[in-house]
């Protein structure tokens, strides 16, 4: 297991290299420059613009910028943010807990609701529970999260006034202060994820319930609960875990929109603002850290996959 | 090959399993249809009963019905299933579950797909005890697992306990399945569903031998489902031939091979590979056609279409009843008295 983990981690090196290069290329390909964004509507003479470009290192050829940039970035140093006049790393670490709270809570909710509903639907295939599960999961997947976010906000924050409509409080301000502001964004983000997990769990479980080893487990006189949870679910988890990893990666993308809807000062919100302002270092740093999180999730998925599937572990 | 059949004749006292009018039905667009059709069958204590027939004849479904595990939407309807004198049809789901794996066990056809790929061998063995002997400690369960593994000839048992199915060979996997059936120590009826079909020929003989050795040691009754008549010839005391959900012939094994009464049984014996066939360049006989669709059975004898002795007007009018022709023989055929003498095409037939 240790060797397997090590191998997986080593495989990240080329992935990170490619990701970082892509980030650099894409940010440079976007039309416009940070200087026009910085000066805004002020009239500034050409000498000043040249000076700014020199200061930001934008006067040199792109490949030189890349060669100078790459070794710094690999060590996690993205330099100063052009707008926040603070190191990019600090800006990101400041925002990270928000995005982490949002996506992680959404993931927990998704797993806690999606997997049991999927299992029950599979066990009662064709029944009334399965029917409603099917309808609701399709509906959940079809609703755009941003629209759902606004609707939830209208009903529960504006109408019923149960929770605040937007904003964020760190958990140090008290659990409820933190949690109440995350309830709606988490709900908006998890509904479509739940739909996906229910469908995947259901179809995988139906497949596994039809296998001979599940039949054999019944033939051995095991209790139905043991048959389902130990024999069937364990095998189904191999595939479900993969989907959960995918769902989390999608959730990271979805969080960008949700953070903007609910005015949550997270990484997604930071990245969109940085993109508008052409704040290259912040943009690059933000995407880089999201990539790292996605890779970390991939690692967790791979390890979970190996945990559930001994044939992988020993090959 | 010498018969592996245990010398001790079945114990005469009341049967361990007595099926009467057992029926397994599935729903269809036009009501329901029977896959197992009013089967009467009994198995004596310590008896090895061979159950033969082509694929789709209802052999495996009958076995599932005995286990109480007919896959939905199928159901066992009507009939009685006495196990040691108790009608299993009237038992609750949990009472049925308690019998499974403890007093009635199954050795499946495919040991590879019947073992859970994600669980260790030891866990899959001991969980049978966990379900049926809840008072045993985990050390006792482990010790018991090692004992049965040795009994079924698994070497390095200690090491095997922590291995996964994919790390074992086919023969060892099937030994594990047999150990699983024996682990509770109280098995009275063993249903072996084509236990050697998925194995290499060399391993088949070993497993069969182990099977019969354990059978005679433990005095358990065995229902051996197979379409391999050579296996039946070596192991069974009596044979039930199934066709399209019906039992068409039931006889002691030697009588059946000597004088098959039902045309289907004759067909099965003729299509059995045997010595001398290739030398004399005769083709191995086959039964033309295939088993009728159970959802749309013919009005008359179910074997009518494929039977070389069928007579229009008699055989296609109604399905013949299972008729007792001697003290221990039954046959389901209108014309069994009139059939010509059965002679196999070549010498050296059977076992």
Residue among B99, B102, B108 minimizing CB distance to A212 = B108
Q: Can you say how many angstroms the Cα of residue B8 is from the centroid of all Cα atoms in its chain?
A: 20
What domains sit in chain A, N to C, each tagged with a CATH number? 14-74 (no CATH), 88-313 (1.10.3720.10)
What are the tens digits of pLDDT across the range B18-39?
999 999 999 988 888 888 988 9
In this prediction, residue B351 carries a pLDDT of 40
Q: Is A44 helix (H, G, I), strand (E, B) or coil?
A: coil
Return mean pLDDT, chain B: 86
- Interchain CB distance below 8 Å, A216 and B115: yes
pLDDT class for B200, splitting at 50, 70, 90? confident
**CATH number at B17-236:** 3.40.50.300
Residue among B101, B131, B164 minimizing CB distance to A310 = B164
Q: Does the structure show a pLDDT above 90 at B238?
A: yes
Q: Give the whole-angstrom CA distance, residue B272 versus residue B32.
A: 35
What are the tens digits of pLDDT across the range A103-149?
889 999 999 999 999 999 999 888 889 899 888 988 888 888 889 88
**DSSP state for residue B48 in the 8-state scheme:** E
Instruction: Give Rg (Cα) of chain B.
Output: 21
- Interchain CB distance below 8 Å, A309 and B128: no
Q: How many residues does chain B have?
A: 351
In this prediction, residue B9 carries a pLDDT of 58
Closest chain A CA to residue B115 = A213
Q: For B12, phi and psi rounded to 5 degrees?
A: -70, -30
Contact A21, A28 (CB under 8 A): no
Query: H-type helices in chain A, by residue range?
Result: 2-29, 34-39, 46-56, 62-74, 88-123, 128-142, 145-152, 175-209, 212-219, 224-226, 233-261, 267-277, 280-308, 310-313
- Interchain CB distance below 8 Å, A221 and B166: no
Q: Give the whole-angstrom CA distance, residue B101 versus residue A220.
A: 4
Contacts of A180 (CB under 8 A, 6+ apart): A163, A164
For helices A145-152 and A233-261, give the axis angle rounded to 10 degrees.
70
A180: exposed, middle or buried (C-beta count within 10 Å: 0-12, 13-18, 19+)?
middle
Q: Can you say how many angstroms the Cα of residue B90 is from the centroid of all Cα atoms in its chain?
A: 24
Residue among A212, A220, A235 minimizing CB distance to B131 = A220
Q: Does the structure show a pLDDT above 90 at A34?
A: no
Q: Give the whole-angstrom CA distance, residue B105 versus residue A36.
A: 80
Q: Which residue has the tokens 């996906």?
A: A196
Return mean pLDDT, chain A: 84
- Residues belonging to chain A with any Cβ–Cβ distance to chain B shorter than 8 Å: 211-213, 215-223, 226, 230-231, 234-235, 238, 308-311, 314
More confident: A313 or B9: A313
User: What's the CA angle centered on B193, arms B70 and B240, to 5 degrees?
Assistant: 90
In this prediction, residue A311 carries a pLDDT of 79
Q: Give the whole-angstrom CA distance, residue B69 versus residue B142.
A: 28
Q: Does the structure show a pLDDT above 80 at A290?
A: yes
- Interchain CB distance below 8 Å, B164 and A311: yes
Chains A and B: how many Cβ contacts under 8 Å?
A: 75
Q: Does the structure show a pLDDT above 80 at B59?
A: yes
Domain positions in chain B are 17-236
């Amino acid at each position: 297991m240790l060797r397997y983990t090590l191998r997986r981690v080593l495989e990240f090196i080329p992935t990170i290299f490619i990701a970082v290069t892509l980030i650099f290329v894409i940010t440079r390909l976007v039309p416009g420059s940070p200087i026009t964004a910085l000066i805004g509507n002020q009239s500034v003479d050409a000498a000043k613009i040249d000076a700014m470009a020199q200061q930001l290192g934008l006067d040199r050829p792109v490949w030189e910028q890349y060669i100078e940039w790459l070794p710094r970035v690999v060590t996690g140093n993205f330099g100063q943010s052009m707008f926040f006049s603070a190191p990019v790393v600090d800006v990101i670490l400041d925002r990270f807990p928000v995005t982490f709270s949002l996506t992680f809570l959404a993931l927990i909710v998704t797993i806690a609701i999606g997997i049991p509903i999927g299992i029950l639907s599979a066990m009662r295939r064709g029944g009334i529970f399965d029917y409603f599960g099917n309808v609701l999961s399709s509906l959940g997947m079809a609703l755009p999260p941003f629209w759902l976010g606004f609707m939830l906000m209208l009903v529960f924050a504006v109408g019923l006034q149960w929770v605040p409509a937007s904003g964020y409080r760190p958990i140090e301000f008290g659990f409820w202060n933190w949690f109440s502001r995350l309830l709606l964004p988490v709900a908006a983000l998890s509904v479509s994820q739940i739909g996906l997990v229910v469908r995947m769990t259901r179809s995988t479980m139906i497949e596994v319930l039809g296998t001979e080893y599940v039949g054999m487990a019944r033939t051995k006189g095991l209790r139905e609960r043991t048959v389902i949870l130990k024999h069937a679910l364990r095998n189904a988890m191999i595939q479900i875990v993969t989907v959960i990893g995918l769902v989390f990666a999608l959730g990271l993308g979805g969080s960008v929109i949700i953070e903007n809807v609910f005015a949550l000062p997270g990484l997604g919100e930071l990245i969109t603002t940085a993109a508008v302002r052409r704040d290259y270092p912040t943009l690059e740093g933000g995407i880089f850290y999201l990539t790292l999180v996605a890779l970390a999730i991939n690692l967790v998925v791979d390890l979970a996959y190996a945990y559930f599937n001994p044939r992988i572990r020993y090959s | 090959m010498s018969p592996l059949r245990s010398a001790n004749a079945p114990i005469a006292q009341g049967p361990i399993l007595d099926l009467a009018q057992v029926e397994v039905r599935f729903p269809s667009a036009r009501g329901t249809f029977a896959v197992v059709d009013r089967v009467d069958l009994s198995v004596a204590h310590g008896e090895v009963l061979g159950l033969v027939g082509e694929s789709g004849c209802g052999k495996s479904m009958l076995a599932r019905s005995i286990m109480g595990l007919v896959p939905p939407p199928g159901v066992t309807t009507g009939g009685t299933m006495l196990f040691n004198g108790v009608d299993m049809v009237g038992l609750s789901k949990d009472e049925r579950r308690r019998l499974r794996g403890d007093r009635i066990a199954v050795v499946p056809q495919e040991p590879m797909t019947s073992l859970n790929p994600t669980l260790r061998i030891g866990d899959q063995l001991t969980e049978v005890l966990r379900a049926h002997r809840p008072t045993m400690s985990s050390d006792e369960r482990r010790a018991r697992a090692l004992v049965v593994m040795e009994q079924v000839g698994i070497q390095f048992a200690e090491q095997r306990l922590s291995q996964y199915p994919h790390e074992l060979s086919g023969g060892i996997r099937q030994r594990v399945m047999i150990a699983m059936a024996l682990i509770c120590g109280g098995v009275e009826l063993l249903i072996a569903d084509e236990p050697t079909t998925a194995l290499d020929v060399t391993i088949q003989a070993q497993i069969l031998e182990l099977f019969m050795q354990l059978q005679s040691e433990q005095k358990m009754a065995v229902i051996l489902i197979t379409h391999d008549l050579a296996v039946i010839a070596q192991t069974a005391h009596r044979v039930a031939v199934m066709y399209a959900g019906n039992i068409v012939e039931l006889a002691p094994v030697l009588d059946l091979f000597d004088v098959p009464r039902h045309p289907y049984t004759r067909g099965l014996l003729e299509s059995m590979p045997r010595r001398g066939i290739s030398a004399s360049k005769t083709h191995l006989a086959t039964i033309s056609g295939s088993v009728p669709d159970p959802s749309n059975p013919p009005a008359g004898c179910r074997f009518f279409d494929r039977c070389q002795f069928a007579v229009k007007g008699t055989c296609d009018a109604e399905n013949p009843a299972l008729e007792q022709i001697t003290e221990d023989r039954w046959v389901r055929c209108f014309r069994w008295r009139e059939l010509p003498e059965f002679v196999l095409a070549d010498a050296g037939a059977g076992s």
